[in-house]
Structures are given as C-alpha cells and as structure tokens.
Amino acid sequence: MSTGFYNVPIPKNEPVKSYAPGSAERIDLQKTIQELRTIHVDLPMIIDGKEVRTGKKVEMHPPHDLAHNLGCYHQGDKTHVVQAIEAALKAKAAWANTPWQHRAAIFLKAADLISGPYRAKINAATMLGQSKNAYQAEIDAACELADFYRFGVKCMTEIYAMQPESTPGMWNYNEFRPLEGFVFALTPFNFTSIAGNLPVAPAIMGNVTVWKPSKTAVYSASVIMEVLIEAGLPAGVINLVFVSGPVAGEVIFNHPDFAGIHFTGSTGVFQDIWKTIGTNISRYKSYPRIVGETGGKDFIFADPSADTDALATAIVRGSFEYQGQKCSAASRAYIPKSIWNETWPKCEAQLRRMKMGPPEDFTNFINAVIDEASFDKLKGFVDRARKDDEAEVIYGGNCDKSVGYFIEPTVILTKDPHYITMQEELFGPVVTIFVYEDNQLDQTLTLLDETSPYALTGALFSQNRYSIDHITKRLTNAAGNFYINDKPTGAVVGQQPFGGARGSGTNDKAGSVFNMLRWTSIRTIKETFVPARDFSYPNFLPDK
Ligand code: NAD
C-alpha cells in the first residue's frame, strides 16, 4: 500500500573514472580481465527467472584475439521464444500491480550495483566480448547504463506527475498503465548500455519484456541479467533469449499480445520489422508501439573560421573511437579549401599517435571491429577506394584478421561528394573527407543535407556567430543531435537526449521522458462528485 508521494533520488551522471596508471579502478579492472580470461563461462538463457541450457553451445571469442575462448552461450530456438512470451505474460499482473516505488528500487539498486561491485565485471565483459578499450567500456557499460536506470526512474515519476486539470464538482486524473501484452527488446552489439536500457525502460513503466541481445554481445548481456536478478527483478519480467533475430521475429510478430518493440540497430532490419508489423496489424490486440533508433551517416561540417585544432581532434576522435562503431560516429566531413592544408597535418599527427591492438593493453586506442562480416565489408570499401579514381586513401587502410579483426583508422579523400563512402553507413573506422571551395558553402550545405537518407548526428565547427546561426538553421532536419564546436558523439543521458529522424529512427530520445512515454497507455478517469439527476438543460425552462 502506497502511503506517500515519494521523491526519487535526484539522478546525477555517474562520474567517469580515469583508469590512470596505479589507480584502484585500473588495478581492479586488470585483475577482473585476467579472471575472465582464465575461466570459460557457460551462459544460459534466462526464462521465467530460470537458467535455460539447451546444450547447443556457441563459443565466444574476443574479436581482437580469435584464438582465445571465453566460453559459450546456449543457443535457443522458437520454443524458447514461446516460453519467454508465456513467462512474460504470466508475470504481467503481479508486476503491473507492484507499487512504483518498489519497481523503482530494483532499478536504482541495479544502477548502484553496476557503478559499484559490478563495475569491473561489466567493463571487462564489454572489453573482452565487444573489443572496447577501458575508457570506452567505462563510459558505456558502467556510466551510461547506471545513468539510464537512474534517469529512467526519475522520468517515470515525471510522467506520473503529468495530470489534467479538474473543475469544481469533479476530479480528473491520468492513470499510466503498462501496455497490454509484452514488449520485445531487440538490441545491438555496440553499446552495453543500450542493450541494458531497451528491456528495462519498458519494465520501469510496468511492462514485461522479451529481450534478444546481439549474438556478439551475449557476454555483457548476461552480466546485465545477473545484476538485474541480484537487484531483485522478479521472475518473468525480463526474459533473455539467445536466438537469431528472424527466429525471434517469426514468433513475436505473429503473437496477438505483442504490444511494442524497443529496437536499436540497423535501418534495414528496422524497416523490415516495421513492414512485418504492418502486414500483421490485424492480429494484435492493440496497435504496437514501434520505437527504433537506427543507422546514421554522421557529419562534421567546418566553415572557414573553424578552429583547426578542435576540428582535427573532433575528426579523429569522432570517427575512430570504438573503431567508428558508434551510430553517432563521424563518417563524412566537409572542410573548406582555405583551412584544409592546416587541418590535415593536425589530424595526421594525432592519428600517428593512436595505437592499435587488444583492449587488455590500456595504451591502445583502436581495438578490433566486431566480427568477420563487418571486417570483410569494411575491407571491401577500403580496397575499392584504393582503386576508384574519385577517391584516395590518405591514411591507414591496412586490414589484418590473422589474430583479430583489426582495421587501421582509415581516411579517404574524395573529389565526389556522392562517392559511396560519403553516403552509406559503413560502421567502422573509416571517414571520408570532401574538401569544398570556400565560395560554395551554401551549395555544400544543400549537398550535405541531401546526400544520405539518415539524420542522426552532425557537428558544426565555426567561430563566427552569424555563420553558426545560419548553418544551424540550414541543417535543421539533418540531425537529431547537433553539436556546435564538438565531435558528434558522446551524448550523455539527461544532458543530450539521443535520437535521430529520417532514416535514423523514430527519434524517441532514449533515456528521456519522450521515450518512456511510449511504454505507457494512459487511462483518463473522471469522477463526478454530485452527478446530474435529470437530462434537461436550464434553457428548457419557459420564459417567465
Ligand atoms: P543489427 O541491425 O545487425 O542488429 C540489431 C539487432 O537486430 C540484433 O539483436 C540482431 O540480432 C537483430 N536482427 C538482425 N537481423 C534481424 C532480422 N532480420 N530480424 C529480427 N532481428 C534481427 O545492428 P548491429 O550491427 O547490432 O548494430 C549496429 C547498427 O545499430 C548500426 O546501424 C548503428 O547505426 C545502429 N545503432 C543505432 C543507434 C541509435 O541510437 N540510433 C545506437 C546504436 C547502434
């Protein structure tokens, strides 16, 4: 029984630890990495709170060290998806009826476990399983995930406080019901925090979910599930299945109780899912909520007044952190001719200082790309650029998969602003640069705006306030997250609500009230205290 209007703790962004030599966190993380490297894990699915092992074992290898075996996970099939849905629906009534402060407490506890006793483990699992360096793992797996849970709880209470007016004689109120049915969380490989947020955001709002992580991020997904269980998540509220996407989709998108999808991944997959849901629409009990954050072809645009030190740093950090495998990573840049000769040596000097190798060596900036398919695809684009007349590989381009999937940070210079690598999302450490004539600035803005189907992130470098105003307006619809004099990556929960429009997604802004509102179906209640007792209006009375 609720007996108060409780205030939830005011969320603060989890401070990012430095991992400087000799620091306690560095020692702890290195020890945990060593431990995880010496054991072989055996990861089950979690359905109805129970560990499910099928015996169909899939080995996991660090993308940067293919010879090493981290252990395995148990692959499921259609029957496990059916079981996961049944478990979710069974858990639904109790979870929906749980007072919100108890739901909140579970996720606040999970945040404290992630930023506390599980910090090293979730970072180590992300480093080994997804080939992230310590800093990138820290900002993602530890900090952003804790932020998602803490800010998610705060957003929930802000939504519950959204109440209508009441006039004399009545009381109106909004009841924020979970959706009828279950929510499907379909998560990508590249952010542990996104993987942990997509099933949890609907659960914070009282929904039950079926969660299918990427096959290349099962290790960290299992740590997230371990944390949620330790935090007290009841059985069946979130069910973790290891099946292929199409297998999960076939069962889920045909189920009458399918109530919504919380997706992050590529645009093609999302568009196929949308089509399937459309085709099946008459089978569902309600219109499913479709929330998807998808691909990008994120840009950096500089005008002639740009600070070239800041611009060069943004190009190399924005393009190559986590090997460019961020939806927000810069992958095309437009630089005016007048500052190109000053900017490029500054980029090159920083690139020469970037070391590539396994994340276990903390001095490496660049690690491996996620898998062989990604490696082969990226190598194909680099090889093609070497041959094409319109393009020139001016830095990097060497690819080697003998030990792990290593691709050097690669810079392509093109004379053709529509060259394929200026348009397509490659999702790797490759940036393409187009140098424009200074007197073509406006035409170049039009080009930028119309070159790709995406509109996720973009950055503008300029020191001229009129120009900043002009360009920001011209690019109104080119990005959902727009940065002025900063790289286009690194959105922080609670500070830069994240998401893009056009082909980049539904722009529901993960980690904000805008997203959380999608996971509730409002019932508005009007109670009249002294109801009318006769149908007639006062004007029915005759004139005196
Ligand atoms: P992906 O689309 O390959 O996979 C995402 C999820 O969908 C995985 O769990 C995968 O198994 C599943 N899936 C794949 N094919 C499927 C199918 N046919 N049916 C059902 N499920 C299917 O994406 P990824 O490679 O894991 O992640 C990279 C992509 O995600 C990039 O395009 C990136 O831009 C995007 N991304 C976007 C954001 C954002 O906020 N906009 C954030 C992170 C990543």
Domains in the chain, ordered, with CATH?
A: 45-294+505-522 (3.40.605.10), 298-484 (3.40.309.10)
Q: Record the tokens describing residue 454, joined without a space.
A: 């995406």
**Who contacts 277 (Cβ-Cβ below 8 Å, separation ≥6)?**
253, 258, 261, 288, 290
Note whether 123 and 134 are within 8 A (CB). Answer: yes
Residue type, 400: D
Question: Catalytic: 86?
Answer: no
Residue 187 CA to ligand 1 center (angstroms) comes to 6
Q: Residue 204: which of 152, 157, 161, 162 has the closest Cα?
A: 152
What H or E segment, with its residue span, contains residue 333?
Answer: strand 330-336
Q: Please tell me the residue having the least CA distance from ligand 1 atom 22.
A: 245
Question: Catalytic: 158?
Answer: no
Burial 184-202 (b: 16+ CB within 10 A, else e): bbbbbbbbbbbbbbbbbbb
Cα–Cα distance between 408 and 411 in angstroms, integer? 9
The CB of 174 under 6 Å from ligand 1? The reply is no
pLDDT string in tens for the chain (544-residue length):
668 999 999 999 999 999 999 999 999 999 999 999 999 999 999 999 999 999 999 999 999 999 999 999 999 999 999 999 999 999 999 999 999 999 999 999 999 999 999 999 999 999 999 999 999 999 999 999 999 999 999 999 999 999 999 999 999 999 999 999 999 999 999 999 999 999 999 999 999 999 999 999 999 999 999 999 999 999 999 999 999 999 999 999 999 999 999 999 999 999 999 999 999 999 999 999 999 999 999 999 999 999 999 999 999 999 999 999 999 999 999 999 999 999 999 999 999 999 999 999 999 999 999 999 999 999 999 999 999 999 999 999 999 999 999 999 999 999 999 999 999 999 999 999 999 999 999 999 999 999 999 999 999 999 999 999 999 999 999 999 999 999 999 999 999 999 999 999 999 999 999 999 999 999 999 999 999 999 988 888 888 8
The CB of 331 under 6 Å from ligand 1? The reply is no
The CB of 515 under 6 Å from ligand 1? The reply is no
Cα–Cα distance between 254 and 241 in angstroms, integer? 17
Q: Which atom of ligand 1 is nearest to the CA of 500?
A: 41
Burial 117-151 (b: 16+ CB within 10 A, else e): ebbbbbbbbbbbbbbbbbbbbbbbbbbbbbbbbbb
Strand 330-336 vs strand 298-302: parallel, antiparallel, or unpaired? parallel
The CB of 294 under 6 Å from ligand 1? The reply is yes
First to last CA, the chain: 56
Note whether 446 and 418 are within 8 A (CB). Answer: no
Instruction: Report the predicted TM-score, pTM, of the whole model to 2 decimal places.
Output: 0.97
